């Protein structure tokens, strides 16, 4: 059964609330697939707060433009809730938080190099959206994170995904000549599931963020198309493009 928190109208609401943050080509379309990662991840947070019966302590690793907490705040209003009923504390972690402009979205900011330092312990949820592909050793980073996490902690991971047979080849190419995005590691669904499985994390949900992104094109004005896109992403989680996993520490 689809989560009631996967409401497509949140995409339209958020792109109107934060047009500069998401970029002009995304903001001019009603249901930009670029925001699917936030829609899906926020649904995990709302469901987890409901499951625990209390607001969550969240740690987001890799902040970028601060879109995740802003999306959750819009979603809470959309569902007639206070954000504080879903998240009681939001900790932002980045390698250098002094360069960030959206610091006001966070209750606490920490400058940490997660390739060498452990994330703060004691959080209910850890979010890593498009972080692991920037790390030379994502396994050791996730090992430290899993060690810091208490039992039943939720870990949400999103990565660009490749077909499994091409992931290793693409990673070697990236490390010889990194691209403009700073990617140095490559993932397929199989590769990420193995990494999480080796850490004894139980997979609770997985899906492709989209099957056909159509970024900035007229297709992104269609609720029917975007609903179909999300539905296929759940049916075929290994579809190349973007892969999202919700896992729990046993």
Contact 161, 188 (CB under 8 A): yes
Residue 1: predicted pLDDT: 58
Which DSSP state fits 7?
Answer: -
Q: What is the pLDDT along the chain (250 residues), one digit of tens a residue?
A: 578 999 999 999 999 999 988 888 888 999 999 999 999 999 999 999 999 999 999 999 998 889 999 999 999 999 999 999 999 999 999 998 887 766 778 999 999 999 999 899 999 999 999 999 999 999 999 999 999 999 999 999 999 999 999 999 999 999 998 777 899 999 999 999 999 999 999 999 999 999 988 887 889 999 999 999 999 999 999 999 999 999 999 8
Residue 14 sits at the vertex; the CA angle it makes with 219 and 223, to the nearest 5 degrees, is: 30
Alpha-carbon gap, residue 173 to 169, rounded angstroms: 6
pLDDT score of 99: 74
Burial annotation 106-116 (CB, 10 A radius, 16+ → b, else e): beebeebebee
Query: Which domains are delineated in the chain?
Result: 9-249 (3.40.50.150)
Q: What is the pLDDT of residue 26?
A: 86
pLDDT of 214: 81
Backbone angles phi, psi at 244, to 5 degrees: -125, 135
Residue 98: predicted pLDDT: 80
Alpha carbon of residue 166 to chain centroid = 23
Cβ 53 vs Cβ 124: under 8 Å: no
Q: What is the pLDDT of residue 104?
A: 79
> How, if at all, do strands 241-249 and 201-208 pair?
antiparallel
Question: What are the respective helix, strand and coil percentages of the chain, to the nearest 5?
Answer: 45, 20, 35
Number of H helices, E strands in the chain: 9, 7
CA nearest to 43, candidates 158, 123, 122: 158
Torsion angle, alpha carbons of 9, 126, 216, 77, to 10 = 30
């Amino acid at each position: 059964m689809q989560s009631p928190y996967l409401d497509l109208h949140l995409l339209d609401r958020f792109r109107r609330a934060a047009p500069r943050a998401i970029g002009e080509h995304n903001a001019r379309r009603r249901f930009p697939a670029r925001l699917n990662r936030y829609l899906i991840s926020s649904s995990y947070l709302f469901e987890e707060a409901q499951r625990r019966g209390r607001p969550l302590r969240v740690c987001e690793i890799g902040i970028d433009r601060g879109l995740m907490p802003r999306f959750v705040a819009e979603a809470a209003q959309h569902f007639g809730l206070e954000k504080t009923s879903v998240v009681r504390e939001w900790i932002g972690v980045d390698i250098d938080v002094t360069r960030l402009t959206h610091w006001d979205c966070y209750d606490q900011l920490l400058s940490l190099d997660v390739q060498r330092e452990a994330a703060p312990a004691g959080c209910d949820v850890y979010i890593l959206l498009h972080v692991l592909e920037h790390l030379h050793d994502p396994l050791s980073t996730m090992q430290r994170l899993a060690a810091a996490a208490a039992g039943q902690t939720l870990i949400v991971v999103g990565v660009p995904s490749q077909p499994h047979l091409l992931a290793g080849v693409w990673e070697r190419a990236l490390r010889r000549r990194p691209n403009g995005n700073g990617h140095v590691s490559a993932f397929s669904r199989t590769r990420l599931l193995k990494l999480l499985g080796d850490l004894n994390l139980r997979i609770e949900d997985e899906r492709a963020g989209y099957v056909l992104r159509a970024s900035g094109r007229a297709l992104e004005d269609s609720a029917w198309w975007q609903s179909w896109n999300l539905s296929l992403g759940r049916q075929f989680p290994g579809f190349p493009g973007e892969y999202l996993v919700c896992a729990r520490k046993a």
